[in-house]
Amino acid sequence: MEKDKPVENIHSKKKKLTRIITIALVILVNLGIVAFIVVRELTSNKGGTSRLDVTNLNLWFLFFGIALFGVALFAEFMKYRRMILSSCGRLDKRGAFQVAVYGKYADNITPLGAGGQPFQIHFLHKRGYPGGASTSVTLNGFLSQQISFIIISVVVLIVAPFTTTIPEEVLALKIMAYIGLAFYSFFPLLIIFFAIFPKPVNAMLLGILKLGYKMHIVKNYEAAHARAVNGMNEYVVLIKQAIKKPTYMIPTMFWSFVYQFAILTIPYFAIMAFGGSVDWWTTFVITVNIYLAITIIPTPGNAGVAETSFFLVFSTLPAGALFWAMIYWRALVYYSWIIIGLIVVLKTTVRNSYMHKKEVPNDRPLNICLVCDTYFPIIDGVVRTVDQYAREMTKLGHKVVVVVPDLEGNDDSKLPYEVYRMPLLKLRSIPFDTVKPFMNRKAAKYFKECKFDVIHCHSPMFLGMMMSRFGRKHKIPVFTTFHSKYYDDTINVTHSKLLATLMVKIILYFYHRVDNVWACSASTGETLRSYGYNGHIGVMENGVEDLPKGNIEEYKKEAVEHYNIPTDKHLFLFVGQQIWHKNLKLVLDTTKKINEEDDKYHAVIVGTGYDEEAIKKYASEIGISDKVTFVGKIRSRKTLFGLYKASDIFFFPSLYDNAPLVVREAALAELPSLLVKGSNAAEIVIDGENGYLADNDVDSMCARIKAAYEAKNMKEVGKKAAETIPIPWSVIAKQVIERYVLETKHIKKV
């Protein structure tokens, strides 16, 4: 093996030398063409001068030409941004811009102007994208560019003879233009024919390669055939996927057309800027014909032939302006891509050397930042989740800082972890508490001193977005857990579908920007997908606290006596916020109907909320005030578990909740839950084994409750629920830490 190294070094040196010679030749060719134009100008018989007459310069057209290059650049950026978002689920603006520029840069330094795809695939892969997604994005970008130019060219070649007069010099290029169109269309048409008639195309391709083998052009025709078929199959799959996803295909093609029109219109503005007088359509037609004619020229960026051919376009300019117009045009459509590409390559190389995100260490206690847009004294499922994360992680020896809003009435002195309160934005027009959208210097300084290893956001609102930006800036991995149905939340507050849709767009921006997205159940993840997120979603379930210490039967007795709950009735319990979208109307209507058939059922409802009075009023209106006990907020876990033990069924028909903690708490107390079939909350329940499921209507609920009592196995079902549903928060916390370490090994700064 050692003897082979000098040979490898020789080959490597030869490749480098060849590359250097090629680049030098390209530079010499371009300088030679520029020199040719200068000499032609100086020796022309127009009687002009090679000096530019500034008085003939139209700055507006000069500016619009530059603006068109900006449009072309923006179109390429938007095309790749959309493709990356659709294929990979990431809103990677920097990556989209860089891969767009990198592709054009590589196209312009490789023969035939189409060598950027391998560079783009490699570039995306280096940014952490899967190989399949990298290939898909790149090949779709290439194919959309080809198809858009072919369509424009065909339209121009058909329409031009009837709409404009073409100069005789350009008519001579028409044959070359048709040849160029055939050359440019060959690959896309081959792919289409292969998709429709795979066997004939396959046989034709094999025959061509065999002929090449006999002529000593192809070394191994079987291997070449296999590579060609595999490549075409990839394109066929991509085309079929694009057809099935019009929301992917249409924007991609739209931005490809915008790019082509911008690039093909620049010569018109170049002529007008330097004192020429032509109409846009004629210039556009000539430009398309020339681009087609020079397509087959195997020089980087069609160098040499492009300048010579486009002399026909600019030949109408006054003396002294031709050289500068050519330089202006060539700088925009060719040199600008190379310059910007070199900047991107250099900047990316330097950036990649130090901008990879940190991996979470596994050999020391972690510094963890947990983020939530609401917190104590408000209590809900998300607040309780964050609190338990912080408590259990602290027990494991990690340093935890919980970053939350500075809500009125908070008291963090008794919490076993650190809480950092962010100042509120106080506006009368905002009916809810929210933090100021920008981080102040004091907070920024403190967070830097904390040296967080990971930031975990449990909400995508102002505070989550703020800490996500902080994480990206300081190379800290950012995780998030999707907890709530934000579309439903916004509808319930604003009663506006438009605002709810806008809110979903805003939170999607957040989820596309973080490094890892989790959901508290698989069905909850599907809710996020229904909003339009298509990136990877991991599942991290919610846990449950241990049973309160002491005699649970005593707690049961005390709770029943304290709230005067009847002991001669079948009890079903609801625990949660008193808001209509928790489906409390179904609880009350079911209580009414089941008691009309057999007066031996009683409902106990725990919790408070902004619909509390309306819910009580409704219970009174339908005549079941004596069939329902509203106990309000319960702060004591002992009392709450006493009610769990006193009840027969935990009746929780909410379609809103994703992975409710109360269902897991009920299971811990061996209380089986009755849930709506197909709801996110019902994912952990098997009907009749560890709980009960019914359709979302009164009759179905009544029938299931009666059947559950008639089966006389509620205790067995409750015990099975206790065995299969609850997971201690201590176990969840260990899993979270393990996932922090494991999943950050694959994170790159994107």
10 Å CB burial of residue 121 (0-12, 13-18, 19+) is buried
Average pLDDT, the chain: 85
Q: In the 3-class helix/strand/coil scheme, how is 296-334 assigned residue by residue?
A: CCCCHHHCCHHHHHHHHHHCCCCCCCHHHHHHHHHHHHH
pLDDT computed for residue 749 by the predictor: 46
Cα separation, 42 vs 51, in Å, equals 9
pLDDT (tens digit per residue) in 84-95: 888 777 778 888
pLDDT (tens digit per residue) in 556-589: 999 999 999 999 999 999 999 999 999 999 999 9
How much is the average pLDDT of 486-509?
87
pLDDT computed for residue 41 by the predictor: 43
Looking at the chain, the whole-number percentage of residues with pLDDT higher than 90 is 48
pLDDT (tens digit per residue) in 366-408: 999 999 999 999 888 899 999 999 999 999 999 999 999 999 8
Predicted confidence band of residue 201 (pLDDT cuts 50, 70, 90): confident
Structure tokens at 194: 């292969």
322-326, 384-388, 649-653: which range is least confident on average? 322-326
Q: CA distances (Å), 52 to each of 31, 59, 168, 320, 734, in order?
A: 20, 14, 28, 5, 73
Cα separation, 316 vs 281, in Å, equals 15
Cα separation, 121 vs 104, in Å, equals 13
Q: Token pair 């009666």 is at which residue? A: 706
User: For residue 507, is pLDDT > 70?
Assistant: yes
Residues 459, 485: contact at Cβ < 8 Å? Answer: no
pLDDT (tens digit per residue) in 580-600: 999 999 999 999 999 999 999
Cα separation, 210 vs 191, in Å, equals 20
pLDDT computed for residue 309 by the predictor: 62
**What domains can be seen in the chain, in order of their start residue?**
11-191+236-352 (no CATH), 367-539 (3.40.50.2000), 552-726 (3.40.50.2000)
How much is the average pLDDT of 111-127?
72
User: For residue 170, is pLDDT > 70?
Assistant: no
Cα separation, 665 vs 214, in Å, equals 77
DSSP 234-292: HHHHHHHHHHH-HHHHHHHHHHHHHHHHHHHHHHHHHHHHTT----HHHHHHHHHHHHH
Contacts of 257 (CB under 8 A, 6+ apart): 148, 151, 152
Task: Provide the angle, in degrees to the nearest 10, between the axes of the packed helices 246-273 and 280-293.
Answer: 110
pLDDT computed for residue 134 by the predictor: 78
User: For residue 347, is pLDDT > 80?
Assistant: no
The residue that leads in pLDDT, 348 or 271, is 271
**Cis bond before residue 377 (omega within 30° of 0):** yes
Q: CA distances (Å), 632 to each of 629, 657, 704, 726, in order?
A: 9, 20, 27, 25
10 Å CB burial of residue 351 (0-12, 13-18, 19+) is middle
Residue 749 phi/psi, 5-degree rounding, is -75, 105
pLDDT computed for residue 630 by the predictor: 97
Predicted confidence band of residue 188 (pLDDT cuts 50, 70, 90): confident
Residue 315 phi/psi, 5-degree rounding, is -65, -15
The residue that leads in pLDDT, 106 or 550, is 550
pLDDT computed for residue 349 by the predictor: 66
